[in-house]
Structure 1
Amino acid sequence: MHRARLAADLERLATNLRSAWYGPARRVLEELDPPAWERTGRNPVRLLKEAAGRLETAVERPGYGARVHDAADELQQYLDSDDTWYRRAGGDPSRVVAYYSAEFALADSLHTYSGGLGVLAGDHLRSASDLGIPLVAVGLAYRDGYFCQRLDSSGWQHADPARNDFEVAPVSPVLDTDGRRVTVQVGLGDGVVTVQAWHVAVGRVSLYLLDTDVADNQPHHREVTGQLYGGDDDMRLRQELVLGVGGARLLAALGIDVDVHHLNEGHAAFAGIERLRHHLVGGHSLSTAIELVRGELVFTTHTPVPAGHDAFGWDLAAYHLTPLAEQLGVEFRALWDLATGAGDDRWSQTVLALALAGKANGVARLHGEVSRRMWAGLWPERSVTEVPIGHVTNGVHPGQWVGGELADLFDARLGPGWRTSAGPEAWERIREVEPAVLWRTHVAARRRLVGEARDRLSAQSRRLGIGNDGRGLDPDALTIGFARRFATYKRATLLAHDLDRLAGIVGDDARPVQILVAGKAHPRDEAGKHLIQQLVGLSRDPRLKGRLVFLEGYDLELARSLVAGVDVWLNNPLRPLEASGTSGMKAAMNGVLNLSILDGWWDEAIADLAPRAAAGFGWAIGDRREDGEEHQRTAADADALYHLLADELVPTFYRRDDAGVPTRWVEMMRDAIALLSPQFSTHRMVADYVTQAYGLLEPEFEVA
């Protein structure tokens, strides 16, 4: 293969983020220069710039050029193919869905997400691509992403910048036919801001990231897309106007005729206002325009905690939205009434989205019930059960989250359907895989994870001059994972409620147990940062023998390793405050057994699928009660957790046959993969949106 052809094929792979979730494409990029791959933060575009001088030697490497060409050719076939779930189901490719989100987790090289909302949005795009859904997406091009986590010697979290350099990222400027930047304008209280965009290829899906860092803008307008969730309420309102209004205007400027606008959380609710403007300009009355918007708007709420919904006071809302009201030809009060519930004195993005969306849903069955109770006051004439908020349970993307070892086994034994199908057929074939083979594959993933954890902890210990260096970790010990955002309701320290009981469980040298913890607290969440500090302190407690560790720098790469390599995934929020909890779904796809409070998706899994399991696929902590004082519930849940660990998990894990295989454990792994994977994948989730919310295909069953 000639150098020019190799360079062209590598560029095709680097500039489409399918390489972030499709193993063969990712591997050939990494293989070009593994140290540079890590040094560049797994940024394929930066990698090609830094490793350009290595192409001559890469051409000569036996078989490398052929592997690159095969991967690039496979990508092109994937992009060109009409043989997708959507087309086979009779879907019309001309009916387009626009998906708006304030964050997208697509690759570690793009710092455009903070946590679960962004991870869900990224998986939504990946599955839309794999299923062939005609979907485009809109987000914001933050120059400074959420943050990179760094701990000091006391275990206190510090936030280092997470910069985005779009000149050396897998993005490209959005240009018109004359090669000029496509721009739109959005009015704010202090003037008009010009918005440009960057295009991100996510398989077959196009994502447009809106950017106000435009030379013609005033300095403070250039900063609107400066930082993910940065600044105060004023900045948040500016960002959300750019996302909603600017996003809808950009799609119109690009000539994209959208049938359905899907708002992923209330951040994008202003897209509904822009759609109102479109219909009012067309000569419709306000009441008619609202009904037309309701026919094209879908809203997903993710937040069961009232404080998590964006709200703004009259003065701030009037300041920024009066220019938009004037464009609509209505008084600001008319918009205010849309966005406020009875007796409320705050503009609510969720209330606005619920007022304008014809379809609204929570992200799990239990969360749908919680949401109906939360917002019942908006429909005083209805009973709670009649509140028009249904549910579409979240999922996770198989190709993104199944670890490399298991993905190779799935490719060989399940066939390609596990990557691209919305149905359960391929997943059931895991029951044909020999127990020893499945166990050996998982053990390889665990050993890789423990090696990576040791490397991280050793570097962390050297930098700080103190701390757990990972030498207490055992690649063959029962390994529990806990990784998520450190909000207090998630109760990250529940496991240490009774330290003596915990020490008795993890300190058994005959049957060792180890716990890997990771996650970030919001930079302004002091309570969450204190939880991290407590866990770092526990990691240094001699009673635990180095078997509890905290891994700093939580990112997509570490998340992938954790959900693939641990044996048990722990989740212990205060019910019913976990809307969905997708990390446990990722673990289950890898045959990892869940140990969880009956909240979010796990409540659903236990109720619907546990009766179908031959051996079980995990354990429920406690029961479904939501009454009682919080400290009493915490004590009861901790007691239940310790009993399950000591009496169920540890004995089952260490009970082996003559070949060293924990036979019942492996049967539970099979149940987890076969039953949970298809039900809690974003392939199923996106198919549900297509049939139940978007109306692109006939519905198979009711949303609620």
Structure 2
Amino acid sequence: MSALPKEGMIPKRLARLRDLASNLWWTWQPDAQRLFQRLDPVLWEEVRHNPVALLRRIERIRLNAAAQSPVYLELYDRILAEFDRAVAGETWFERSFPEHAGTTIAYFSTEFGIHEAFPAYAGGLGVLAGDSLKEASDLGLPMVGIGLLYQHGYFTQRITEDGWQEALYEDLDLENLPLARVTGPDGQPLQVEVSIAGRLVRAQIWRLQIGRIPLYLLDTALPENLPTDRELSARLYDGDPERRIAQEMILGIGGVRALRALGIRPGVWHLNEGHSAFSILERLREHIAEGLPFEEAAAWVRETTVFTTHTPVPAGHDRFSLTLIEKAFAGYWEQLKLSFEEFCELARQDEPWGPTFNMTALALRFSNHRNAVSELHGRVTRRMWAHLWPDRAVEEVPIRHITNGVHIGTWLARRMRALYQRYLGPDWMERVDDPALWERVLEIPDEELWAVRRHLKRKLVAFMRERARRRWQRNHVPPIQIVASGVLLDPYALTIGFARRFALYKRAYLLFRDPDRLRRLVNDPHRPVQIILAGKAHPADEPAKRMIQEIYRLIKDPSFGGRIVFIEDYDMEVARYLVQGVDVWLNTPRRPLEASGTSGQKAALNGVLNLSVLDGWWREGYNGANGWAIGEDRDYEDPEAQDVADAASLYELLENAVVPLYYDVETDGIPHRWLRMVKESIRSLAPFFNTRRMMKEYLHEMYLPAMEAARRRTAIPREPVL
């Protein structure tokens, strides 16, 4: 277990702070966070909102004072009672589907974004996985997560004076994380083995508790492994193909074996993207070892596998050369009673340079429950993979869509939550997927909504100024970099946010195509505009890093007046401040390459208006009155023509719609027409683009059919797996 203070170090009256710190349920409970913050507000910021680190470092005198405070104890007792209900009370799933209460859903993902204190995520895929586990806990779904424990997490981003991104890697401080090393009946750490290229690689198992949901993480940093194998779980998305395939063998094959070692036999296997598709091979191997012929084993695997694909970008689908597959699997195919050629056909995808073993193709071929993550992405995905079903028309390819959503408890600002509590009713968090509930948003007085929105923007500006001050103090960076970090921002000017992973198809450069026009826009003395950018480029993505550099050099131009800034090291903490504090959320992907996106959903929930290309989720969410659509609802053959048209549309909307509406303030100092659009945005978007609706869709359309199939299959007598 992580090194929380031993019993006796914490006053007996507050002893259960240890329980609370050991379960990441607190990450989506503002009052639980305040319980730790009130112990020592300064230390809480220093440890980056990590209660394990806080309890290890806090002075005993502060704990004693809290144990004597009636106000603190009242909050403590209330939060612990809520915690106990959340992790042990009767659940919605148990009430609704008692016949499936004993069926486990295994959720595999290469990354999980739970909180910034545990940096095991790179971007949207991981944050979606984290949000999914949190919602599964809220609903009581019988789920377990499977992933890897990255000793270096994802990289820390630093921007040099000339705008170049540097990637810094730091060891994960396991002592300050609520991780439990899983042990076996003999009290020794539980381990699994995977044969990779003819050598055995061992992995130990850690548990991270997310409310009701255990997340099991595999770690190869063991002394009995070769030095190179200890590094397999060191970094997220290793660029070397040999290490990448080994990572994915640990995740997929090792993940299945870890569940078996834990005594867990899932009825449903959900693969969040193709990185974990090797789990399919291991499950086939198990069934064949039990005596099933290959086709029957394959049918069993298909009936109980759910696969979600997240990207229409070809580079986002892992594929390996057949030479590398032959080396890495070294005879594994014989356990499937296949030849090497037959083994390769399970996932064969021909590329211009030759045949490959494609992880997405493997997952699609061996799952009966497949989905893309938005309506448009579904259409693109069916077209992209239609060759796997040559006897079907493209529109009949069996890949449906379940549009992504966001976990409201994680991303909603505390002040907005309090506002909703007043006007939506005390049980509103239990009904967030009910459209009728959100009609009440229209009853919120404009002055109250405006006061909250202004408060959140002041918090954002204060946060950025404090980050800039600390950077100045710590690194002594040149003054121009401090300006570029946001110290000159105005907490009352129209503020636009653009934050996401930097890749060329995200088109962060679109806003800068006409610098003179942009300069006039931001420097209007009567209606100023300020723009906040944030995001990381993959360390191996040189074009994306050059794009950041070019944008950063423009940002440093004094003629922009410090109104365009870049926040380095974008993470979940920065994301929360941005989606809660800006006025407008800008998204400019090259359609149709944005599978879904969720940052704009988080922003909308907090009263931020979307200004976006009609791609991903926004194509479904936009209704003409709840934000703005950049460009047309169409695809382009010519990328340059698309850039020209979309940039022209973006500037036109900013100049003639967005800016005038924001500054259309009436005599009471409130922009009522702006707030009318804000309310329409919340009313129309919040009930659908949330994980409660999303996870219920997965349950009804994917999990329950797989559970029924598993129940039918388990009725057949079987020999135990050796």
Q: Normalising by structure 1, what TM-score?
A: 0.95
Report the counterpart of residue 39 of structure 1 in structure 2. 46
State how 1:234-633 maps to structure 2 within 5 Å: 234-341=242-349, 345-421=355-431, 422-460=433-471, 463-467=476-480, 468-469=482-483, 470-606=486-622, 610=623, 616-633=625-642
CA-to-aligned-CA distance 1:324-373 (integer Å, 9 cap, x gap): 32333332322211010368611100111011111111111101111111
CA contact (8 A) 1:145 1:164 kept: yes
Residue identity in the other structure for 2:42: P
State how 1:123-142 maps to structure 2 within 5 Å: 123-142=131-150
Displacement of 1:69 in angstroms is 2.9
Provide the rounded CA distance (Å) in 2 between the counterparts of 1:471 and 1:184: 51
Provide the rounded CA distance (Å) in 2 between the counterparts of 1:85 and 1:445: 35
Alignment pair present for 1:651 and 2:660: yes
Provide the rounded CA distance (Å) in 2 between the counterparts of 1:574 and 1:310: 21
Residue identity in the other structure for 1:310: D
Displacement of 1:89 in angstroms is 5.8
Provide the rounded CA distance (Å) in 1 between the counterparts of 2:435 and 2:465: 37
Report the counterpart of residue 643 of structure 2 in structure 1. 634
Displacement of 1:423 in angstroms is 2.7
Displacement of 1:219 in angstroms is 2.2
Provide the rounded CA distance (Å) in 2 between the counterparts of 1:283 and 1:600: 45
Is the partner of 2:578 in helix, strand or coil?
helix
CA-to-aligned-CA distance 1:412-457 (integer Å, 9 cap, x gap): 3323544343333433322221111111111100111111122223
CA contact (8 A) 1:591 1:672 kept: yes
Is the partner of 1:679 in helix, strand or coil?
coil
CA contact (8 A) 1:3 1:59 kept: no
CA contact (8 A) 1:240 1:267 kept: yes
Displacement of 1:10 in angstroms is 1.2
Displacement of 1:626 in angstroms is 1.6
Report the counterpart of residue 118 of structure 1 in structure 2. 126
CA-to-aligned-CA distance 1:159-193 (integer Å, 9 cap, x gap): 11143222320211112344322222111113111
Size of the alignment, in residue pairs? 692
Gaps of 5+ in 2: 1-7, 709-722
Is the partner of 2:697 in helix, strand or coil?
helix
Aligned match of 2:680 in 671, 677, 681?
671
Displacement of 1:113 in angstroms is 0.6
Residue identity in the other structure for 1:301: T
Provide the rounded CA distance (Å) in 2 between the counterparts of 1:687 and 1:432: 28
1:629–1:360 Cα change, 3 Å: same
Alignment pair present for 1:689 and 2:698: yes
Residue identity in the other structure for 2:440: R
Displacement of 1:6 in angstroms is 4.3
CA-to-aligned-CA distance 1:490-524 (integer Å, 9 cap, x gap): 11121111111111111111111111111111111
1:570–1:165 Cα change, 3 Å: same
Displacement of 1:670 in angstroms is 1.1
1:267–1:568 Cα change, 3 Å: same
Is the partner of 2:15 in helix, strand or coil?
helix
Aligned match of 1:179 in 165, 171, 187?
187
Report the counterpart of residue 24 of structure 1 in structure 2. 31
Displacement of 1:636 in angstroms is 1.2
Report the counterpart of residue 716 of structure 2 in structure 1. none
CA contact (8 A) 2:350 2:356 kept: no
Provide the rounded CA distance (Å) in 2 between the counterparts of 1:341 and 1:629: 27
CA contact (8 A) 1:188 1:323 kept: no
Is the partner of 2:38 in helix, strand or coil?
helix
Displacement of 1:697 in angstroms is 9.9
Provide the rounded CA distance (Å) in 1 between the counterparts of 2:30 and 2:657: 35
Displacement of 1:594 in angstroms is 0.2
1:178–1:410 Cα change, 3 Å: farther
Residue identity in the other structure for 2:548: I
CA contact (8 A) 1:398 1:418 kept: no
Percent of residue pairs identical: 45
1:240–1:417 Cα change, 3 Å: farther
Is the partner of 1:345 in helix, strand or coil?
strand
Report the counterpart of residue 702 of structure 1 in structure 2. none
CA contact (8 A) 2:103 2:142 kept: yes
Residue identity in the other structure for 1:685: M
Provide the rounded CA distance (Å) in 1 between the counterparts of 2:678 and 2:520: 26
CA contact (8 A) 2:136 2:213 kept: yes
State how 1:29-108 maps to structure 2 within 5 Å: 29-51=36-58, 53=60, 54-61=62-69, 63-84=71-92, 87-88=95-96, 92-108=100-116
Residue identity in the other structure for 1:580: S
CA contact (8 A) 2:103 2:707 kept: no
Provide the rounded CA distance (Å) in 1 between the counterparts of 2:11 and 2:186: 27
